[in-house]
Amino acid sequence: MENQAEKIVALVDGSIYSASVCEHAAWIAQRTDAPVELLHVLGRREAPEKRDLSGSIMLGARTALLQELAELDAQRAKLISHRGRAILEDGRAILDKAGVSEVTTRLRQGDVSETVSEVEKDARVVMVGKRGEAADFARGHLGSNLERIIRASSKPVFVASRAFRPIAKVLVAHDGGVSAMKAVDHIARSTVFQGLAIHLVTVGAPTAEVKKGLDGAAALLRAAGIEATSAILPGQPETVLAKLVEAEGFDLLVMGAYGHSRIRSLIIGSTTTAMIRSCKVPVVLIR
C-alpha cells in the first residue's frame, strides 16, 4: 500500500463477499490514487473432467457419445468463462460508481494461490473476501483458499468483512515480533492510514521490554503524523482483540501474518485464523 504506481489486486468470486471486496478496494484507491485490478480465477476443478469411456460400448456409439460429451464440455467451459466475465463486470460497476478511474479486469484459470503469487509482483495489497461462494452454508469456516492466499502472498493481504463501512478507527495487534514491527512501519509510510485513529495493543504481561516496544511503535506513528494510542492487556490474543474490536467499535484490525519457519507458521497461523474468523471487521495481514 505504498508506491503510487502499485496496483490494488482485488479477488472476486461471485460470493456475497465480492461487493465488499470491491467497496473496500474503492476506499483504498480513493486514499492512494492507485489503480485497481479485479481478478477472477477459474479453478482447476472447473475445467472439463477426463472421462474413461473404454468400457463395452460399441465403437460407433462410443464415438457419438464422445463427440456429444466434448460438445457439452466446450459449452460448459464457455458458460464458466462467461460467468467469470460477468462477475468481473459487476465488480467494475461498483468501482465505477465509487469514482475509481483506473480499473482493469483479469480472468485467469488455474490455482488461485499460484495465480496470486504471479500477479502480486507490482501490487501494493491483495484483497480477498473472508469466505467464498459457500459463505451462507459455512459461516463458522474460512474460505478454503484464504489461508493458502495469505501464505502465498508476500504483500499485505486485506481480508474483507461481509459488509463495507467507512474506516476511521484501526486496532493494531502488536506482539513485538518482526511482522508486527513491519506492520507499524507499513502504517507509518502508507497514505491509507493518514487521518485515521490508530490504537496499538499488546496482549500479555506488561514487562519493561513490552512497554518499551509498544511506546516505540506509537512514537513511530506519531512522528509520521498519525494519531496513535497504546495499551497492554492481559489474556489470550484472539479473545481479547475480538472483544475489543466489538466493544470499542474498531473498523479495521491490522496484525502480522505468518513467519517462514514451519513450526512458527503453525503457531501464528492458528492465532491469525482465529482472529479472522472471530472478527466482524476487515483484517489486514502483513508478513
Residue 64 lies in a domain: no
The predicted pLDDT at position 168 comes to 96
Overall domain count for the chain: 2
Indicate whether 38 and 152 sit together in one domain.
yes
- pLDDT the model gives residue 143: 56
Give me the residues of the chain with pLDDT under 70, please. Answer: 1-5, 44-59, 132-144, 258-271
Are residue 12 and residue 151 in the same domain, yes or no? Answer: yes
Residue 260 pLDDT: 37
User: Same domain for 181 and 151?
Assistant: no
Q: Phi/psi of residue 225, each to 5°?
A: 85, 20
Do 221 and 141 belong to one domain?
no
Task: Say what the pLDDT of residue 275 is.
Answer: 76
280, 247 in Cβ contact below 8 A?
Answer: no
- Structural domain includes residue 142: yes
Global pTM? Answer: 0.84
Given this model, what pLDDT does residue 261 score? 41
Domain co-membership, 140 together with 246: no
Q: Are residues 187 and 145 in the same domain?
A: no
The whole-number pLDDT of residue 175 equals 85
Tell me what pLDDT residue 226 has.
95
| pLDDT of res. 85 | 95
Domain that holds residue 125: 7-46+81-158
Q: Give residue 161's pLDDT.
A: 93
Query: Does some domain include residue 227?
Result: yes
Domain boundary among 124, 158, 192: 158
- Report the CATH number at residue 210: 3.40.50.620
**SS3 assignment, position 12:** coil
Q: Residue 133 corresponds to which cell in the numbers above?
A: 461462494
Q: Across-strand partners of 232?
A: 202
pLDDT attached to residue 54: 53
Query: What one-letter code names the amino acid at 286?
Result: I
So what's the pLDDT on residue 50? 54
Q: Are residues 154 and 181 in the same domain?
A: no
Quote the Cα angle for 170-176-178, to 5°: 95
Paired residues of 158 in beta bridges = 127, 284
- Is residue 154 located within the same domain as residue 182? no
Same domain as 172, residue 154: no
CA distance 220 to 74: 57
Handedness of CA 274, 252, 24, 189 (dihedral sign): negative
Q: Are residues 188 and 128 in the same domain?
A: no
- Partners of 160 in beta bridges: 129
- 193's grid cell: 492510514
**Same domain assignment for residues 154 and 103:** yes
> Does some domain include residue 59?
no
